[in-house]
């Protein structure tokens, strides 16, 4: 068994134009002051990180690590959630997602997709230059508009969608394999990979690629009424990353999983700060420890009620309190009789 690393924090929800959230040095100091020892960096945010430079320069990556190390913090992983989303976009979402791309490719879906793939290739090199082993992204989605269809889906639609999704991702997975880095898809509604079944479909479509793995975030499973503890047992060999995020699901006679187009605060399913929701984190940390999870426990703060800075400080201690320092001996070692094979055979009555 292994002790999970952490606490760490995903910086995407905190980066901003005001200090201390507007530079890597300042936000690293802030994270350390909150009690974090690792940060997950959003690769698209130029205030904190230059992805193109990181892909080309190990010296730059050493500077990034040194800046954080001065505060007792290290890089846990890079994120390409926004760029990964653009690897596969259904036309219905073209305008909604266009803002994720560089300005020069907006309004041009083909150019935007090429740009997104190039971003992923850069992320593979940057991760290797930083000495990282795992990377988080979104899969994008071609089939999502048909997740609960009316009229019914035509035969073969989903197979065609996943075939195309795999075709787009396979070269990226190969590039990450060459870099020695796992691609961890955050299993997330809005993506074609939104539960265990869809991950399996994609994994089959990419030929069981060894670099095709999972970022586990129980909050997205609470909102789907999916058994998030059983998920760990089923996919333990593919879970390489962990977002520690809380949620609650309180269906009523008026709304359920789909939440009736309500704002976050009025939905049956809501994201909450750690400890304020319904997720059984004691069960999760126990299963991850028992399954030899080697990664980080990374806070992703999203809450419809609490201030983010309060959520961060409370979340750091919450994670620290839940990390299990695994034992190196069995609790009943004191009763070891020191038997050998001959004694074992005598005890079984087999001579």
Per-residue pLDDT reduced to its tens digit, 45-95: 999 999 999 999 999 999 999 999 999 999 999 999 999 999 999 999 999
Reported in sequence order, the residue ranges of the chain that DSSP labels E, i.e. its strands, are 5-10, 38-42, 74-80, 134-137, 182-186, 212-216, 239-244, 246-249, 269-272, 296-299
Supply the Cα-derived Rg of the chain in whole angstroms.
22
Q: CA 44 to CA 54: how far, in whole Å?
A: 12
- Structure tokens of 131? 């000495």
Structure tokens of 135? 């990377």
Beta strand 269-272 with 246-249 is: antiparallel
What predicted TM-score, i.e. pTM, was given to this entire model? 0.95
pLDDT tens digits, the chain, 351 residues: what are they? 889 999 999 999 999 999 999 999 999 999 999 999 999 999 999 999 999 999 999 999 999 999 999 999 999 999 999 999 999 999 999 999 999 999 999 999 999 999 999 999 999 999 999 999 999 999 999 999 999 999 999 999 999 999 999 999 999 999 999 999 999 999 999 999 999 999 999 999 999 999 999 999 999 999 999 999 999 999 999 999 999 999 999 999 999 999 999 999 999 999 999 999 999 999 999 999 999 999 999 999 999 999 999 999 999 999 999 999 988 776 666 667 777 888 888 889 997
CATH topology of domain 5-348: TIM Barrel (3.20.20)
């Amino acid at each position: 068994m292994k002790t999970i690393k952490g606490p760490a924090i995903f910086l995407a929800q905190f980066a901003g134009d005001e200090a201390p959230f507007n530079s890597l040095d300042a936000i690293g100091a802030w994270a350390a002051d909150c009690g974090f020892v690792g940060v997950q960096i959003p690769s698209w945010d130029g205030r904190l990180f230059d992805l193109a430079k990181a892909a080309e320069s190990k010296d730059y990556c050493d500077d990034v690590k040194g800046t954080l190390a001065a505060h007792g913090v290290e890089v846990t992983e890079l994120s390409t959630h926004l760029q990964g989303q653009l690897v596969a976009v259904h036309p219905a979402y073209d305008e909604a997602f266009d803002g994720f791309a560089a300005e020069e490719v907006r309004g041009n879906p083909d150019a935007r997709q090429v740009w997104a793939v190039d971003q992923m290739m850069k992320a593979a090199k940057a991760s290797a230059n930083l000495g990282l082993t795992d990377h988080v992204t979104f899969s994008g989605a071609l089939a999502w508009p048909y997740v609960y269809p009316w009229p019914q889906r035509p035969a073969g639609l989903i197979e065609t969608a996943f075939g195309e999704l795999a075709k787009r991702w396979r070269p990226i997975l190969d590039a990450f394999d060459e870099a020695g880095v796992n691609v961890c898809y955050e299993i997330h509604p809005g993506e074609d990979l939104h539960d265990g079944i869809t991950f399996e479909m994609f994994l089959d479509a990419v030929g069981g690629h060894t670099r095709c793995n999972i970022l586990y975030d129980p909050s997205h499973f609470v909102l789907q009424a999916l058994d998030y503890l059983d998920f760990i047992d089923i996919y333990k060999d593919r879970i390489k990353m962990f977002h520690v995020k809380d949620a609650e699901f309180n269906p009523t006679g008026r709304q359920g999983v789909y939440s009736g187009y309500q704002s976050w605060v009025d939905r049956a399913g809501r994201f909450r700060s750690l400890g304020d929701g319904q997720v059984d984190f004691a069960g999760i940390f126990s299963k991850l420890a028992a399954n030899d999870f080697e990664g980080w426990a990374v806070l992703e703060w999203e809450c419809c009620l609490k201030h983010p800075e309060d959520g961060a400080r409370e979340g750091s201690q919450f994670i620290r309190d839940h990390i299990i320092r695994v034992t190196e001996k069995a609790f009943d070692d004191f009763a070891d009789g020191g038997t050998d094979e001959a004694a074992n055979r005598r005890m079984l009555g087999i001579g």
